[in-house]
Structure 1
Amino acid sequence: MSTPADVAPPAPPAPPAVSARTLLPLVAPALVVGVGCSLLFLAVSEVAEQLQEVLWADLPDALGIGGYSAPWTILMLTLTGVLVGLVVWKAPGHAGPDPATLGLGDEEPLRLRVVPGLLVANALMLAGGPSLGPEGPIIAANVALAFWLGAKTVPKAPGRMWVSLATAATLGALFGTPVAAALVVSEALAGRPMPVKGSLWDNLFGPLLAAAAGALTTTLVASPSFGLGLPAFGRPGWADLLAAVLVACAAAALGMVAVRLFPYVHRVFRKLRHPMLMLPLGGLVLGLLGALGGRLTLFKGLHEVGELAADPDGRSAGQFAVLAVVKLAALLIAASCGFRGGRIFPAVFVGTAFGLCAHALVPGVDPSVGIAAGVLGMLLAITRQGWISLFTAAVLVSSPAILALMCIASLPAWLVVTGRPQMQLTENGAPLR
């Protein structure tokens, strides 16, 4: 006869179903936010690309100087530091809080007056060459605008709704697909009270719709592509599985070197106390790194990744290693000295170069496996976002077999990074764990 202690506790009740009438009012706001977030992202990207063309092609051509020569690279990166420093110093709100204290879309909405300075600082950074991407500032700007407009037009709606819609919409616009947004939002909801008293899919309905609208708008206007066009990867073998695990773990360990150094490098720049000292000095260091690593180690790295992957056998292992280390150092400096930008795209470049280095060292490592595993491990260390790391690695190398390998490789790579300091600091400069 069983005793009360032998009886298993009853399972918690399933969340109540949410009616369509509850979710339908989200459709219009989600669509508007999705389209608006994508258009702002595209506008900032276009301005940055046009300015980049002027700074790195038109102007040096007019002066008869090599656009990517060492002197011009050092000059441009230092000048970028000066210009961004001026914006951070003089713009209302100082172009937002210290980016070293922010994660991916987890910040509170900024005041509206901060947004112009933040966008200008991001556009200057993207055009000038520092190794950061657009995602952090664009998400913050879109969240602030959606929160402000939402409060004006639908004052009874909860403020967090606008934050989740804008974050998801911007991620959809950035990656050209709503899948990344769904993964990030679902990861953010884990262990937290659900905003909507229903299932996970009830809570994903609005953000996923906003992400779809943002992704579709970006696709229709700009036709982005993240696939690297690598040769088809066939049936994986045991050697491929071993290579994926080893490369992912090694890339995660390399990324953790930068994560460990992050608070110390950040502290060195903070001792200068003024953006007109921190950012120009950071720009000078980045210029020296750019002169060492060459053109491919400049900018956010997305277009440069395609150039690397187009010729997996075109460089030696040492050359790939130099590209990976220089780009990682540039990411560390740019994130520490106060440039306004995100870390995902430069981390993708580092992981790609690392994976191709493994292929050059051991030709038996398939380039597709090396790239996907390198990107996976590097993003796990830099972002600590498991789903976004797995998604990015998989979308670069579009193959079901690669996805299966990465799912397995992510587990030991996660053990390398979990419980350790993150590349995000508290207000007093201590790393989060």
Structure 2
Amino acid sequence: MLMEVYVKFKLKEIFVMTLFVALLGGFVGGITWGLLFIMDAGIHFLWVDVKNAISFPFYSIIVCSFGGLLIGLWEQRFGPYPREMAEVLNKVKKGEKIPYNNLHIIAIAALLPLIFGGNLGPEAGLSGVIAGLCFWFSDRFKFIFSEMEELPQIGVAATVGVIFGSPLFAFVNQFEDENKPTAIPKNIKIFVYFVGILSGYGILTLLQNLFGGKLGMGHFPAIETVSGGEWAAAIPLAFVGVMAGMLYYLFKRLVKIAVKPLQKNIILKGIIGGVILGVVGMILPYTMFSGERQMTEVMNSWQGMGFVVLFITGIVKLLMGSVCHQMGWRGGKIFPTIFSGVAIGYAFALVLPIDSIFCVAIVTAALTATVMRKPLAVILLLLICFPINGIVPMTIGAVIGGAIPVPEWIGSTEED
């Protein structure tokens, strides 16, 4: 079998493909860093420099409303961008082409809600831009080797790896539910995927160390105690995460119904979304932004926040993700979902006599797997911030969260 593979794929062709994929991965890492750097600089300018200089009590409402106006104007002019990462991945896997004549439009559409405080992650916009660039590469260089059609999938996988800082998550997220035959034999495809992902991750890390612009979800300390109390609470805590995940789908369905009368008034919809975001953000500040930086703050202050604040913050952040998306503030859902799981997990750690990290790990994994529907990918993703001895509770949560189906009356797992 291996001999047949290598007869078809001569050593020279494999070398050229690997070199090309490595260059593509490095390019993906550079583009990703550039967009994240602009996002970080914009957030710092608006929410630190200007906010401190003005010191206005209703600052978040004014800024979010203005952001909603810009987002509405941009969507009215160019259409609803960016697409969800899952939607982009599904299109690429099906062989559907992502246009590359509007990448600057997608990039700006992705940056606006992120900079103006949207409860969104950056993965949606970045995956759309990178997928488009990869299709451009594929069209321009398809004379090099016939398997160029695989480039967009490799590029998107590299993007996922560099955004979340987890090459293994990117790889498994791409392959966990894949059943479509591919132009490249499986063993060679696995190899070139790793080359692209690691190349992108390496370039991004280098640029972040040199120039800044790093995303960071923080790192939880090791689980100190695992006794009968922890194991007795494991299944109930997993169901807490699952129930929160079901609320995610219910919120998405209810908000979509509530916003339906505004669908044709794109600008007003964006402004109202900004007002809601700003008002809620004044009361519960952690419901704004993607949550990866705020997670570290919660890790350091959860014991003084109280059960009610932590629990409501986690639930409302799930709600605000749907509000933002339906109001035209589009972006990713993974970072905010993880933050919600952390907040809810810490809330229950305050009232249960068990290890706090054990509690947070199970709830976060169950919630994230309920939303993503990919248990193995969730475990590998969460390993970038949870300790290695948290893999068992995370596995319990992720398996239960991924196994329990979402009832139709609650909502659909399909992307809007």
| Mapped pair 1:185 → 2:178 | no
CA distance in 1, matches of 2:14, 2:234: 42
Which residue of structure 1 lines up, in the alignment, with residue 64 of structure 2? Answer: 77
CA contact (8 A) 2:167 2:197 kept: yes
SS of residue in 2 equivalent to 1:311: helix
Task: Identify which of 45, 48, 56 aligns with 1:57.
Answer: 48
CA distance in 2, matches of 1:26, 1:59: 48
CA contact (8 A) 2:159 2:197 kept: yes
Which residue of structure 1 lines up, in the alignment, with residue 90 of structure 2? Answer: 106
| Mapped pair 1:407 → 2:395 | yes
Deviation per CA, 1:57-82: give whole Å up to 9, x if none: 222333342xxx4x111111111111
| Mapped pair 1:222 → 2:211 | no
CA distance in 1, matches of 2:176, 2:120: 23
| Mapped pair 1:209 → 2:190 | no
Amino acid at match of 2:66: L
Deviation per CA, 1:163-215: give whole Å up to 9, x if none: 111111101211223111111122142x322442x34x332222221111111
CA distance in 2, matches of 1:129, 1:310: 22
**Consecutive unaligned residues in structure 1, runs of 5 or more:** 1-13, 427-433
| Mapped pair 1:239 → 2:229 | yes
Shift of 1:283: 1.6
Q: Please list, as runs of the form range in 1=range in 2, the aligned pairs for 1:18-33 lying within 5 A after superposition.
A: 18-19=5-6, 21=11, 23-33=14-24
Q: Runs in 1 of length 4+ with deviation above 6 angstroms? A: none
CA contact (8 A) 1:243 1:369 kept: no
Which residue of structure 2 lines up, in the alignment, with residue 396 of structure 1? Answer: 385
SS of residue in 1 equivalent to 2:303: coil
CA distance in 2, matches of 1:89, 1:159: 35
Amino acid at match of 2:106: L
Q: Give the TM-score taking structure 2 as reference length.
A: 0.88
After superposing the two structures, state which structure 1 stretch, 233-242 or 132-141, moved more.
233-242
Task: Identify which of 369, 374, 389 aligns with 1:385.
Answer: 374
Aligned pairs, number = 400
SS of residue in 1 equivalent to 2:305: coil
Distance 1:162 1:236, change over 3 A: same
| Mapped pair 1:315 → 2:305 | yes
Shift of 1:88: 1.4
After superposing the two structures, state which structure 1 stretch, 136-145 or 104-113, moved more.
104-113
CA contact (8 A) 1:256 1:417 kept: no
CA distance in 2, matches of 1:253, 1:83: 35
CA distance in 2, matches of 1:344, 1:135: 8
Which residue of structure 2 lines up, in the alignment, with residue 346 of structure 1? Answer: 336
Task: Identify which of 256, 265, 271 aligns with 1:274.
Answer: 265
CA distance in 2, matches of 1:425, 1:162: 24
Which residue of structure 1 lines up, in the alignment, with residue 127 of structure 2? Answer: 139
Distance 1:366 1:123, change over 3 A: same
Deviation per CA, 1:265-291: give whole Å up to 9, x if none: 224334321321222222222122212
Distance 1:227 1:125, change over 3 A: closer
CA RMSD of aligned residues (A): 2.4
CA contact (8 A) 1:279 1:337 kept: yes
